[in-house]
Structure 1
């Protein structure tokens, strides 16, 4: 900030000269005191300069609408929306989100530093602030094959970037517990640079929370129960309450929020598909859900604004007060919270669900970015899962709308000594094919709860190493669906009787589309319609559920390209008992 700008703000605050913009007749949400106040709001050079009575070069009559700080998503993987930042912004800005804390570890696990740089470049010069947390776990674990490796020296150059805020979710608990110097170097260099460190404490006990807090980790978004959230709050961590497409934790966690600890609670989407963002919204959806469950709406807005800003040291964001950035929005009903207008640095950027002007990406995709799916020819013989005399297998049990799974042991049907998928038992074949280095690795398993009656579905979105994952009722559709993803450069597909029903190409790292968000949403509608042809009737998103069946840092049983993995035993185990 230069002296000229500072002088101008002081003169406006002191009413010596008119503000650039004055908001009148607004019901202002005071996130500091939990009140609604009625004053003029003066804005100069994109910042709030005063609350009181002011004159301005431009005046907006809010007509007694509520005026609140715009929202902050405290943890999001933009890649999960299946569009790059420049398209993501078009969708969430009209919902009042003008700041996100984002971890590009999805594309980082595929393309390493080049993937991170693509996201940084694409996020520039947009009417939205993207604060990046550098991936801490690429690869996430040694139990799978990722497309890249990122060590502390690879991350260090990014720490000087103004868009970078710190280190992303530390999910390699075993390395942290064992004080692995490779992980500790990432944490230490981040803290030394003044950055922040996010956590990932899925399924971990209170002793593990002590360990994470002692290591400088400040947040966790992986709480599934109020008891887990309380253990983290007691140890001084921030709890980011997640409501995404696959993991929906808000209802379970909200009871822990009270008058004393609410300031340590945030909201995040984590992973949310573009269609859900369009249909439900983003952080505005959290506020509506929380308010409907009895949380004070001003407290909910505080969690979505000031709390997140303070957690990540964004000292000029999250409130309507002098010295804060003029990022704000209007809405008519404190409980319904339907955003009518959104402003970024005092300029209107969205009105009634529509951007004021179109956004253009700052980046272009290199050949490496769009050529990331490399798989060998496959045969049905490679899909065989031999089962020994017991006729029992270790089975992954899906919990709908959760990313945690259960470990079951059940009798299975056999054909020539190999597992035969059974629709009546809801036991389907799960396949993970390594797609980065043509290792030939194929992981095979059995999953229960998916509910397909015929055919197969497959995707290159498979957290966090993003190999190809497929589930199906027969080997022919499985093989053809996997091979089809190789042909289209990654994405999502449904196969039935050897032919594709519908597909969504995602050529950017096999994770994101190079088309506009409208086209992606349209193709998703087709995919969800065609799921009925496969007999799917469950009330969860099967592709999102499938994409988390490969994540070996989430309990209890998962599948990687190296085989079936037990998080309890921290090792691969056979399918056959």
Structure 2
């Protein structure tokens, strides 16, 4: 990530803008998208010292790129994304998203931090520096996400202060423990206090919170929320002064529902992906996909582009990013048109973007289920309600006991030898067992469907892989994807990782599964801060009542 420009570079920009010296790069004949004003206008773009020097005509440069009328827009910035949810390392994520126009991300690495603690954040930043993409981060605030979870590590206020001091950390990550905020939990408030450093953002996460509770949550000092699922929730957040992050990922899809709000051009709004899997990245795209949906839904292209450029840059205090304007970093994309948003080329710092090939090593984070696993059985208490799984949301419903069709098992992967089981509906997976070591946020092992024997076999396969995803039926492994980086990520090229994920999905389909993205959906069935029912190794949690069921 580039720092501030020194006087020498700034003076060179000034001389290049005045035509006194040539620039490094000239993009000639472009249609510039200016999201700050909602304009699209013809101009050449001159670059020097990695930044835009000027817009206009008659410039000279060492190298010229002919745009031939293509649209030149600022590089896309994802203001809230869990890179780990793609199942890729930062270099792999960059390889999948740079060709889609994403030049920068603000990662929320609480997945790897839940597994490894603060060294996980340091690794994410280190890996981001060699990824070819600009990778900033926010400091995870809820590790574990709530008192009902316990992963491989914990983060307190002192850890938060240390993380906020790391170069590249822009603020406090999503405060998911809203009951702790509203109830005055001392540990939660100590983390909030540590996050109130000058110029730092405090990201919010208030699923289902409305009315006085939402007012109180905003009054605690949170700045944003990405959990709105209806126009009413979105308007309520905007009226409370929160920045609205409209989420569209693999597990939670809120954009279509919130398009009426975005058509009103709210001042404080942006688009984020949150969690998106590698197969969907390659098949459907990243932020470019969201832009297509916005324009098809009635937004002016320049106003849609603002939602992934200058708005998120302003939110995070990235003052020299998000616009194609003099003095700003020369991060931009050439687009064939402003309907399909097909990317012709992506530039970072005035250079054609290329994903990195190096990922630093990361130790720790395997799967240990304990010696009792080989004889485990997974009975479900008869009086427990059924978790109703929704294919396009991370919230779940509550069904009557006895109405389920696929069992869910969550097992401690850190050697405690504890597990619990419940029934689910809405997945159709009964003829095979899907096992994963990616379970938000504590990242225990989770198993959906199958017999006791298939579940036990899937658990041992995860141990042998050091973490990953497997499908077992008839006692045999039918498909698998090793995730050797903390049991969360692979360094396979994106196309190979996506192919393995498609094989897993096909094996799930053969077992009756009807979910479009079964691995991603399963990975959220243990997140204890999202209503209504979630499963932990300690038992079934009623999130609304905030208690484990007896």
TM-score range for the pair, normalised by the shorter chain length: over 0.9
User: Of 310, 313, 334, which aligns to 1:306?
Assistant: 310
**2:399 aligned with 1:408, yes or no?**
yes
Check conservation: 2:265, 2:303, Cα contact below 8 A.
no
**2:548 aligned with 1:572, yes or no?**
yes
Q: CA–CA distance in 2 between the matches of 1:188 and 1:290?
A: 37
Q: CA–CA distance in 2 between the matches of 1:249 and 1:338?
A: 23
Partner of 2:482: 505
Q: CA–CA distance in 1 between the matches of 2:28 and 2:160?
A: 46
**2:523 aligned with 1:547, yes or no?**
yes
User: Of 3, 6, 12, which aligns to 1:2?
Assistant: 6
With normalisation by structure 1, the TM-score equals 0.91
**2:445 aligned with 1:482, yes or no?**
no
- Superposition misfits of 4+ residues, deviation over 6 angstroms: none
Partner of 2:373: 378
Partner of 2:178: 173
Q: CA–CA distance in 1 between the matches of 2:491 and 2:68?
A: 41
Check conservation: 1:461, 1:491, Cα contact below 8 A.
yes
Check conservation: 2:118, 2:163, Cα contact below 8 A.
no
SS of 2:244's equivalent in the other structure is strand
Check conservation: 1:21, 1:346, Cα contact below 8 A.
yes
**2:12 aligned with 1:21, yes or no?**
no
Measured against aligned partners, the alpha-carbon deviations of 1:305-343 in whole angstroms (never above 9, x if no partner) come to 111100111100111111111100111111111001000
Check conservation: 1:481, 1:495, Cα contact below 8 A.
yes
Measured against aligned partners, the alpha-carbon deviations of 1:343-366 in whole angstroms (never above 9, x if no partner) come to 0111111xxxxx4xx523251223
**2:406 aligned with 1:431, yes or no?**
no
Partner of 2:69: 64
Partner of 1:323: 327
Check conservation: 1:197, 1:219, Cα contact below 8 A.
yes
Partner of 2:511: 534
Q: CA–CA distance in 2 between the matches of 1:571 and 1:33?
A: 49
With normalisation by structure 2, the TM-score equals 0.96
1:193 Cα shift?
4.3
SS of 1:26's equivalent in the other structure is strand
**2:268 aligned with 1:277, yes or no?**
no
SS of 1:337's equivalent in the other structure is coil
Check conservation: 1:373, 1:490, Cα contact below 8 A.
no
Measured against aligned partners, the alpha-carbon deviations of 1:464-514 in whole angstroms (never above 9, x if no partner) come to 111111111422212221222112111111111111111111121111114
1:294 Cα shift?
1.7
1:56 Cα shift?
2.1
User: Of 446, 451, 463, which aligns to 2:428?
Assistant: 451
Measured against aligned partners, the alpha-carbon deviations of 1:520-542 in whole angstroms (never above 9, x if no partner) come to 12211221222232122x25212
Aligned pairs for 1:26-425 (under 5 A) are 26-53=30-57, 54-261=59-266, 263-349=267-353, 355=354, 359-366=356-363, 368-369=364-365, 371-379=366-374, 382-387=377-382, 393-410=384-401, 412=402
Q: CA–CA distance in 2 between the matches of 1:125 and 1:468?
A: 30
**2:534 aligned with 1:558, yes or no?**
yes
Aligned pairs for 1:464-475 (under 5 A) are 464-475=441-452
Q: Structure 1 pair 126/397, CA: closer, same or farther in 2 (3 Å)?
A: closer
Q: Structure 1 pair 530/207, CA: closer, same or farther in 2 (3 Å)?
A: same
Check conservation: 1:377, 1:483, Cα contact below 8 A.
no
SS of 2:62's equivalent in the other structure is strand
Check conservation: 1:145, 1:561, Cα contact below 8 A.
no
Name the stretch that deviates more: 472-481 or 314-323.
472-481
SS of 1:121's equivalent in the other structure is helix
Q: CA–CA distance in 2 between the matches of 1:364 and 1:386?
A: 43
Check conservation: 2:199, 2:317, Cα contact below 8 A.
no
Q: CA–CA distance in 2 between the matches of 1:372 and 1:531?
A: 22
SS of 1:431's equivalent in the other structure is strand
Q: Structure 1 pair 188/144, CA: closer, same or farther in 2 (3 Å)?
A: closer
SS of 2:528's equivalent in the other structure is coil
1:191 Cα shift?
2.2
Name the stretch that deviates more: 477-486 or 318-327.
477-486
1:38 Cα shift?
1.2
Partner of 1:416: none
1:114 Cα shift?
1.9
Q: CA–CA distance in 2 between the matches of 1:497 and 1:482?
A: 14
Measured against aligned partners, the alpha-carbon deviations of 1:5-43 in whole angstroms (never above 9, x if no partner) come to 121111112222222222221111011111111122221
Q: CA–CA distance in 1 between the matches of 2:372 and 2:384?
A: 28
Check conservation: 2:450, 2:473, Cα contact below 8 A.
no
SS of 1:549's equivalent in the other structure is coil
Partner of 1:419: none
Q: Structure 1 pair 440/381, CA: closer, same or farther in 2 (3 Å)?
A: closer
The unaligned stretches of length 5 or more in structure 1 are 350-354, 413-424
SS of 1:535's equivalent in the other structure is coil
